[in-house]
A = this chain, B = another copy of it.
Amino acid sequence: MIIVMKPGASEEDLNRVITKVTDRELKVHLSEGKFRTIIGVIGDKKMIVGLPVEVMPGVEKVVSVTESYKLVSRGFKHENSVVDVGGVLVGGEGLVVMAGPCAVESREQLLESALAVKNCGAQFLRGGAFKPRTSPYAFQGLEEKGLIMLAEAREVTGLKIVTEVVDVQSVEIVSAYADVLQIGARNMQNFQLLKIAGKSGKPVLLKRGLAATINEWLNAAEYIMNEGNYNVIFCERGIRTFEDYTRNTLDLSAVAALKEISHLPVIVDPSHGTGRWRLVCPMARAAVAAGADGLMIEVHPNPAEALSDGSQSLTPENFAVLMSEVAALAAVMGRKMA
């Protein structure tokens, strides 16, 4: 941390700040310029986080030099992490695809979806049993019945199951059925949920919050890893901006940025990222070209009948086209379809 003193700060101001810092067993390095003094603070990162000097008299600005996360960073672990989900590797050489309906609606709809995405080469079936919805009057999901259907679909197809945990209570029951716990965008900073998901030991797919910076997202993953659970997968799904042609603004730069900063795998959800099925295929291709480790795609046997998010779902036919286009690009990127 660097503390920049105001041009007119007094000797007394300076000493008070130094005392405050050294009281926490941190060290200071002074750089006294003609107009102002700059204080470098050195020591244990945990002691530096939240050091309350910004409001002290004579202080102009506090600049953080080191980040508040540690376990998620390439500084902590240099090589890429690979998350092993019952033999399917996320973040390895293979590109993984998670596909299926937004919500589990019925046994037939789910099995039909599962068989379709399996045939096209997906490794994971996605589908919400618990659905967070803006309006209390919208369809809220089949809950445990939906989880049972997901487990049956795994039985039939061999696909791994990824499904959302919407609150702390659902972690136990979802863990009993799913292979990967998904934490949704609205819950990215539900810190209790992050901790409990961390303790569950299950792989966690962490979606980016609608207004979350990359830095906050990294810290959210740090919450999970801090519980000893290193199996975290980031999922970019678009951020909220002024643009309203698309449902969200898919931030593919975040994929490249995370690959620089962190060792954890990153996948992309262009279905929520765009909200328009016609844009899903180009954005899936772009995600792979940007270096994503996989994709999450909404596929519905009959989007016009979907109880939620129909307008962003692909038909099985369009999903097949997507898979073949993505496979061609994956090859160029040196990746296999896992």
Contacts and interface: CB of A to CB of B under 8 A. Distances in A.
B55 A303 contact: yes
Given A192-B166, A211-B211, A135 B287 contact: no
Given A135-B49, A219-B134, A34 B42 contact: yes
B52 A36 contact: no
Contacts of A55: 277, 303-304, 306, 310-311, 313
10 contacts: A35-B42, A52-B304, A55-B277, A69-B135, A166-B191, A186-B190, A214-B245, A239-B243, A246-B257, A286-B287
A76 interface: no
A49 B186 CA distance: 21
A82 interface: no
A47 B249 CA distance: 30
Q: How large is the interface on A (under 10, 10 to 19, 20 to 34, 35 or more residues)?
A: 35 or more
Nearest to A192: B167
Contacts of A152: none
Contacts of A40: 31, 33, 38
Interface of A: 2, 4, 20, 27, 29-36, 38, 40, 42, 45-46, 49-50, 52-56, 60-61, 63, 65, 68-69, 132-139, 166-169, 186-187, 189-193, 209-211, 213-216, 219, 222-223, 226, 239-246, 249-257, 259-260, 273-274, 276-279, 282-283, 285-291, 303-308, 310-311, 313, 328-329, 331-332
Contacts of A134: 68, 189, 216, 219
* Most-contacted residue by chain B among A49, A55, A133, A283 (CB, 10 A): A55
A35 B306 CA distance: 28
